[in-house]
Every structure is written in C-alpha cells, then in structure tokens.
C-alpha cells in the first residue's frame, strides 16, 4: 500500500504549521491534522469537548461512526515543548491518509485542549509520527499510524516535502524520485529518546566556511522554527544588522528590512541550505517592522530541533527500517 496527501500551511502569510486532510470512520469524517514527527499521539478535536474550547475546528464524532469502538478505561494526556496541552479518552476506528487506510487505529479524542489549540482554528488535531514508545495512552500505550501501516506498505517509509508558504506533500510507503534532486544522504537515527534523533555534521553561515561540528537534534515537522546551540546563533546573527536577542519577544529579532545570510547544515558530506527568506520568519506583531528569526536558541529546551524552517529546505525520508534511518536530499 501507499498514500500521498497534501501538507497545507495553516496561515497564508507565515508557515506556523501544516495540516493534512484525513478521513476517520464510517461514513468518513474529514479532519485536517498536524502531522508531527516530534510526538506519537494521534488526537482530534471531538464531540466530547466543551463548546467553549472549540473555535471553528472540525470535530470527530465517534457516535456518528459505525466502525468506532471505545477503548474502555483508557485515557491520555500530553504536553508539548511549547506548553500547549490536551487530554481525553480513546476510540479505535478506520483512519485513512491519502488513500492508505489503517483499520483499528487508536484515535485519541480530546476532552480538554489548552487555549493555544482553541485559538488555532485550522488545526483539528495531531498525527504523531514519532516512535510509539512516546505514546501517552494509559494503561496500554497505542501504536502510531505509521507503525500500524508499516506492515502493509510497499516500503516502510514516509517522506516530508514541506514548502515555504505553499502546499507540500507527505507520502507514505514510497519515495517519489520527482520530488528531489541529486542523491538522498541517509544518516543513523537514535530511537531511544523516541524522536527522529540524528547528528548533523556541522554548519555554515551564508557563504562562510563550513564549521565541522556534531549537532545532535531531532527532525520535527510539528515545530515551526529551528532551535540550535547559542554559539551557532551568535555566529549567525552577528551577520545581521540590528539583530538582538529580545527578552520581550523571547528570541532573536531584527529589523524586517535587514539583509539576512542563508544557513547551511551538514548531513554527512551533503549540505542543505536554508534560504535567507525562510529565516525572516514573521513580524513580532502584525504590521511591525521588527521580525522574529527562524533560527533560535535551544539553550532553554535541552534539545536541538530541526523544525519546519529547515525541513522545508529539503526532501526528508523517515525510514522505519531495522534500524530506522533518516535521509535528506536537496530539491
């Protein structure tokens, strides 16, 4: 089996997140979910939520699905790196992404979501594509869509082709040679943390020399920006006129009309370059002439994160073999 589905920016102006249409249940209920390689819970806005916590999202109504079954006495609760959170109960139902169906997929129904989820009206929930060891369902943890689908897939892979301010694709079960140029460089993945954790071979700022240094980090489609060690941030933003680390805005900001260098990171001998346009991320508030950087410090996170700002500069293969690996190609 294979599947292919769109990755649609939730906001036309800034790539805050991407959502993908999925079908749940019988008859199919279509929701738009944030595919997140940085977590492993599949949860949705549901009919169990109080109306006060719903602001335009599409909800999943298990009572309207003839194939939905309550997973009795199971609950879940998750908090993300940005402080957002949700919790609820669990059903199993048919779950289809781009023509690829998993029967009896655990669909975690929200009974409560935090305000940042309520405020994001274009996200109806998340599909965790991290390792199933991170799933929060108790007493029995559940498998991700990818783990459930893998045995039926032509190849045990999914790929991310995210795009800057436009619609990209998630493919499941195959690698589309048309979506990248040159070769795919695969590097090992450490599955112990439960994320797609790999080691980058170094970085360069603009046209500067490449600094060979191991950067352990995660490939996280659910995080908007790139978070790296402070020393790399200093090296980058020293090249940006008027850049400063702002306590007010919680990170590096600069005048929106400043000239920004590109940022290159290493994958083995290969190099992926993030264009400067991706790094001028967004005005700090609507209409401001001060912009927030797409590269920020990981010092408060304890982990380096290659979020969408980096991922959309590449074609990325999440290979779920034994052992799993991650592949990067230019496009």
Ligand X SMILES: Cc1cc(CN)n(C)n1
CB of 49 to ligand X, least distance (A): 16
User: Which residues from 82-111 bind ligand X, rule CB under 6 A?
Assistant: 82, 84
By the 10 Å C-beta count (0-12 exposed, 13-18 middle, 19+ buried), 262 is classed as middle
Among 19, 24, 32, 36, binds ligand X (CB under 6 A): 36
Tell the residue number behind the tokens 């045990």, with chain if given. Answer: 156
Nearer to ligand X (CB atom), residue 39 or residue 264: 39
Residues 268-307 as x/- pattern, contact with ligand X by CB under 6 A: ----------------------------------------
Within 10 angstroms of residue 133's Cβ, the number of other Cβ atoms is: 11
- Compose the 56-85 pattern: x for residues touching ligand X by CB under 6 A, - for all others: ------------------------xxx-x-
Of the residues 15, 41, 171, 220, only one is catalytic, namely 220
- With respect to ligand X, which residue has the nearer C-beta, 97 or 225? 225
Q: Does the annotation mark 36 as catalytic? A: yes
Which 209-228 residues touch ligand X, going by CB under 6 A? 220, 222-223
Q: Does 38 bind ligand X (CB under 6 A)?
A: yes
163-197 burial, b at 16+ Cβ within 10 Å, e below that, comes to beeeebbbbbbbbeeeebeeebbbbebeeeebbbb
Contact 254, 242 (CB under 8 A): yes
Active site residue 161: no
8 A C-beta contact, residue 256 and residue 290: yes
Tell me which of 15, 36, 41, 171 is the catalytic residue. 36
DSSP sequence for 120-152? -TT--EEEE-S-GGG---BSS----HHHHHGGG
* 3-state SS, residue 235: helix
Beta bridge partners of 228: 297
- Return residues touching ligand X (CB under 6 A): 36, 38-39, 80-82, 84, 220, 222-223
Active site residue ranges: 36, 220
């Amino acid at each position: 089996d294979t599947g292919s589905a769109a990755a649609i920016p939730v906001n036309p102006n800034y790539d805050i997140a991407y959502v993908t249409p999925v079908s749940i249940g019988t008859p199919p209920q279509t929701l738009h979910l944030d595919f997140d390689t940085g977590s492993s819970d599949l949860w949705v806005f549901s009919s169990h939520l109080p109306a006060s916590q719903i602001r335009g999202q599409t909800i999943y109504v298990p009572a309207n699905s003839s194939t939905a079954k309550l997973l009795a006495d199971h609950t879940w609760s998750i908090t993300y790196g940005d402080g957002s959170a949700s919790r609820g109960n669990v059903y199993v139902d048919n779950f289809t992404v781009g023509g690829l169906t998993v029967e009896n997929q655990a669909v975690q129904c929200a009974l409560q979501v935090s305000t940042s989820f309520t405020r994001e009206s274009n996200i109806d929930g998340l599909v965790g594509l991290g390792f199933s060891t991170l799933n929060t369902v108790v007493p029995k943890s559940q498998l991700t869509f990818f783990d459930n689908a893998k045995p039926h897939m032509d190849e045990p892979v999914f790929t991310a082709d995210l795009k800057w301010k436009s619609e990209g694709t998630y493919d499941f079960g195959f690698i589309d040679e048309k979506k990248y140029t040159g070769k795919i460089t695969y590097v090992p993945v450490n599955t112990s943390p439960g994320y797609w954790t790999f080691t980058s071979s170094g970085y360069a700022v603009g046209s500067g020399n490449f600094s060979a240094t191991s950067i352990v980090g995660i490939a996280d489609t659910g995080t908007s920006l790139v978070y790296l060690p402070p020393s790399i941030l200093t090296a980058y933003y020293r090249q940006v006129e008027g850049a400063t680390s702002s306590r007010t805005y919680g990170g590096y900001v600069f005048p929106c009309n400043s000239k920004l260098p590109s940022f290159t990171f290493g994958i083995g001998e290969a190099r992926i370059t993030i264009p400067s346009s991706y790094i001028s991320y967004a005005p700090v508030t609507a209409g401001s002439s001060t912009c927030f950087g797409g590269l920020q410090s990981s010092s408060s996170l304890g982990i380096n994160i290659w979020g969408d700002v980096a991922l959309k500069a590449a074609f990325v293969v999440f290979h779920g073999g034994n052992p799993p690996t991650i592949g990067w190609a230019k496009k």
